[in-house]
């Protein structure tokens, strides 16, 4: 019953298949606003879980536009190529992040994050 508004980024955990495409399972994460961090309201929907995300070091790339799955897959491949074989990062998932409301037509910001091991 508490309206918290939208926060950024909206973070989608993507699980890549062997060919680089995304599996059909995803996890969408929203940041709880600062004023609710100490005592977040309990979700009324059982499919919603409150999780604490630990600090992490990431490798990131940024791009604009209205991001679609194909864009995230493409930029993840570019980031993987740029990192080469020397960088140690989690290969079983990566994070797709969007920072803008749907109605913002220009200057959009999207990122792909690989979590450093």
Tell whether omega for the bond before 9 is within 30 degrees of 0, i.e. cis.
yes
- In CATH, what number is assigned to the domain containing residue 66? 3.20.80.10
Residue 5 included in any domain = no
Note the pLDDT tens digit of each residue in 65-99: 999 999 999 999 999 999 999 999 999 999 999 99
Question: Is there a domain that residue 81 lies in?
Answer: yes
Q: Which residues contact 58 (CB under 8 A, 6 or more apart)?
A: 95, 113, 114, 115, 116
Q: Determine the Cα–Cα distance for residues 29 and 13; give it in Å rounded to an integer.
A: 8
Spans of the chain below 70 pLDDT: none
Task: Report yes or no on 1 lying in a domain.
Answer: no
Q: 31 lies in a domain?
A: yes
CA distance 50 to 40: 8
Q: What is the pLDDT of residue 84?
A: 95
What is the distance between the alpha carbons of residues 46 and 85, in angstroms, rounded to a whole number? 41
Q: What is the pLDDT of residue 17?
A: 84
Residue 2 domain-assigned (yes or no) = no
Going through 31-109 in order, the beta strands assigned E by DSSP cover 58-63, 94-98
The domain tally of the chain equals 1
- Give me the pLDDT at residue 4, please: 76
89 inside domain: yes
Q: Which domain holds residue 86?
A: 10-38+47-115
């Amino acid at each position: 019953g508490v309206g918290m508004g939208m926060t950024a980024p909206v973070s989608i955990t993507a699980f890549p298949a062997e060919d680089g495409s995304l599996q059909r399972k995803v996890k969408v994460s929203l940041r709880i606003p600062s004023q609710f961090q100490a005592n977040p309201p309990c979700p009324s929907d059982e499919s919603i879980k409150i999780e604490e995300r630990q600090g992490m070091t990431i490798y990131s790339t940024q791009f604009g536009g209205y991001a679609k799955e194909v864009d995230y897959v493409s930029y993840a491949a570019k980031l993987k190529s740029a990192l080469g074989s020397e960088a140690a990062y989690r290969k079983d998932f990566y994070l797709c992040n969007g920072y803008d409301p749907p109605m913002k037509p220009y200057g959009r910001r999207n990122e792909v994050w690989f979590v450093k091991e």
